[in-house]
Structure 1
Amino acid sequence: MKPSTVAEQITATALESTLDLESSPPIQSCSRPAAGSVAETFVVALETSSDENRQVPAVPERVVCKLGGASVWTGEVIEPLVLEWVSKSSSLPVPAVIVTGSVDIDEDQGLARNDRWALYEFRRGQNAGKIYHCLASDDRRQLVARAGTLLGRLHSLSERDPQFAFDRVGGLARDSDSGALELTELECWHALDPPTGLRSALPVPLAGDDGCRPVLTHGDFQPSNLLVTPTGEITAILDWGNAHVTHAEYALARAEVRFVDLHTRRFSRAERERLRTAFRRGYAARATLSSNFDERALSYKLLWALQSGANYTRIARSARGRQQLWRQCQRLLGGDTTATP
């Protein structure tokens, strides 16, 4: 059984139960988005009734079905819990969670046994990663400033909501009893808690230091995980599967790499500095930003490079991890991403 077929069956059955329908909603198509996450992600288009006199619950035109997508930090599927948590506590543009569950599938069918799934609200908008380099300079800077503001709003939750006031960095996992999110020790090497020798050589606050402010962060905040309108409004922040708790300035530096520093071939140094300024100003408009951040940013970016290398090495050790990495490479290279019923 192909994962796309599994996604269709899950969508039809879950919506029938959730919306209290008499029968499963007919499915028109099931396709993978061109830019995806480590989860098996499908956009499922549904047939909706045009009869306004029928007294039946409204069926959405599209939903997003995700299968799996374990966090690189804890090995658990946490995205639905994170999205529910963030949406209840903020007005950040995140997809609503419709329903979640789990399905038993053998590994040789493409999914792990007892793999978790979730149906999400379909958010309209164009993937910002696809148009990022094509935007006019002013439009790009405006988009980057808005992205910085959203990241600042997320990090500022720790300053105004006690449930986001963490006392340490760590991963997020499901509590075995309640099923709610809990802060856990990280299962892999983390840049903010390096070995003693490296730690003493770094002139920046690290885990446990007075200057380290732990915050909930997205985990992969970059243009490809944003949806935007033609006017540049951000309609959704996608792919929260690797959300975790880390140092606010480290998370900001890591995001700045994705929005600014990785684009040396596309943008001039002057343009990168303008983007950097826009991103930081947007962030500082909503969250605390130390006056020393400019001095610390490079150290945090180097730590991120070390952490990324360690994580990719660990992921590549398993067959499932190699499959995920290969799928990401195919999508980056523009491979075929569609799947029809």
Structure 2
Amino acid sequence: MESSTVAEQITATALESALDLESPPTVRSCWRPAAGSVAETFVVALETIGDENQRSPAVPERVVCKLGGASVWTGDVIEPLVLGQVSESSSLPVPAVLASGSIEIDSGDGPAHGDRWALYEFRDGQNAGECYHTLGADDRRRLVAQAGAALGSLHSLSERDPRLAFDRVGGLARESDGEVLEWTELKCWHALDPPARLRLALPVPLAGDDGCRPVLTHGDFQPNNLLVTPTGDITAILDWGNAHVTHDEYALARAEVRFVDLHARRFSRAERERLRAEFRRNYAAHATLSDEFDERALHYKLLWALQSGANYARIVRSARGRQQLWRQCQRLLGRETTATP
């Protein structure tokens, strides 16, 4: 059965139960968003206009249905639980979880797959990765300032919610009953725990060191996982499937690469430094930022490069992973490469 058909059936059945409808809502259309995702993601448009006696006004016009989406760190589907706790503990702009569950999907030519699913609130906005280079300079700086503040707010959640306080770098997984999020050992190598020889050569706090402050982080915080208005205001932070626990400075440096350093061909050095300053200043308004971060950032960015290589090597071992990487490459090759002041 086609994944889109499965998404339509899950949406209709789940909303009928969640909204206590007399009959399942009618699906008008179903499509994949242009941007990629860890999960198989579909936007499902629903019929909300009709006989008022038959149709509940509570039916949303659109929802997002995700199938699968196992974390690269633990192999578990954790996004619904992560979003539930983040939304309870903060005012970060994250989609509401409407329903979640599990189902066996028979592809017809192989083993069942994508057994976990979730329905999310649809959020309006343009993918920031698609407009990041065409925004006006002031609007782009506004976006980066808000992104820095959002990451700082996320990293400070442990101060307000004991469930999100951690003492070790690690992954996140579902507890045995499937409804509770818990810390777990990573199932793969992490850059913050390098071989002893490399650890001795790095003058930065690493996993287990006194200066390493473990925090919940997004896992892939970058423009492609943000929705924004035409003026750069963030309306949603998406794709939390790889959320995990890591050192706050490492996560900040990694995000800075995605918002600033990777855009050297598009933005002048002066513009990149303005964006970097905005990102760090707004992060520091919500979370602790060491005075030594400026010296440590480059080391963490180099570790992130090693981590990315290890992650990609693991992803390409599966056919589905190779397909996701190919879609990302196609998007990257289609972008312009002219610099802006």
Please show how residues 1-341 of structure 1 align to structure 2 within 5 Å: 1-49=1-49, 56=56, 58-106=58-106, 112-113=112-113, 115-177=115-177, 179-332=179-332
Letter in 2 for 1:16: E
Is contact 2:204–2:299 with CA below 8 Å preserved after alignment? Answer: yes
Cα distance, 1:181 vs structure 2: 0.8
Superposed CA RMSD: 1.9
Aligned to 2:337: none
Give the secondary-structure state (helix, strand or coil) at the position aligned to 1:71.
coil
Letter in 2 for 1:298: L
Cα distance in structure 1, aligned partners of 2:160 and 2:14: 36
- Normalising by the residue count of structure 2, what TM-score does the alignment of the two structures yield? 0.93
Change (3 A) 1:99 1:167: same
Give the secondary-structure state (helix, strand or coil) at the position aligned to 2:91.
coil
Letter in 1 for 2:291: S
Give the secondary-structure state (helix, strand or coil) at the position aligned to 1:182.
strand
Is contact 1:21–1:57 with CA below 8 Å preserved after alignment? Answer: no
Cα distance in structure 1, aligned partners of 2:81 and 2:109: 26
Cα distance, 1:328 vs structure 2: 3.4
Is contact 2:155–2:217 with CA below 8 Å preserved after alignment? Answer: yes
Is contact 1:7–1:65 with CA below 8 Å preserved after alignment? Answer: yes
* Aligned residues between the structures: 335
Cα distance, 1:17 vs structure 2: 1.5
Structure 2 unaligned segments of length 5 or more: list them.
335-341
Is contact 2:68–2:114 with CA below 8 Å preserved after alignment? Answer: no
Letter in 1 for 2:211: G
Cα distance, 1:315 vs structure 2: 1.6
Cα distance in structure 2, aligned partners of 1:203 and 1:49: 62
Cα distance in structure 2, aligned partners of 1:228 and 1:181: 29
Structure 1 unaligned segments of length 5 or more: list them.
335-341
Letter in 2 for 1:323: Q
Letter in 2 for 1:217: T
Deviations 1:114-136, CA, capped at 9 Å, x for gaps: 61010000001111111100011
Letter in 1 for 2:180: A
Deviations 1:79-135, CA, capped at 9 Å, x for gaps: 001000101111110000000111112355688436101000000111111110001
Aligned to 1:338: none
Cα distance, 1:228 vs structure 2: 1.0
Q: Which moved more, 1:38-47 or 1:105-114?
A: 105-114
Q: Which moved more, 1:89-98 or 1:99-108?
A: 99-108
Cα distance in structure 2, aligned partners of 1:36 and 1:107: 21
Q: Work out which structure has the larger RCO, using CA pairs closer than 8 Å and 6 or more positions apart in sequence.
A: 1
Q: Which moved more, 1:264-273 or 1:170-179?
A: 170-179
Change (3 A) 1:305 1:290: same
Give the secondary-structure state (helix, strand or coil) at the position aligned to 1:250.
helix
Cα distance, 1:53 vs structure 2: 6.4
Cα distance, 1:163 vs structure 2: 2.1
Give the secondary-structure state (helix, strand or coil) at the position aligned to 1:193.
coil
Change (3 A) 1:47 1:265: same
Letter in 2 for 1:172: L
Cα distance in structure 1, aligned partners of 2:104 and 2:331: 27
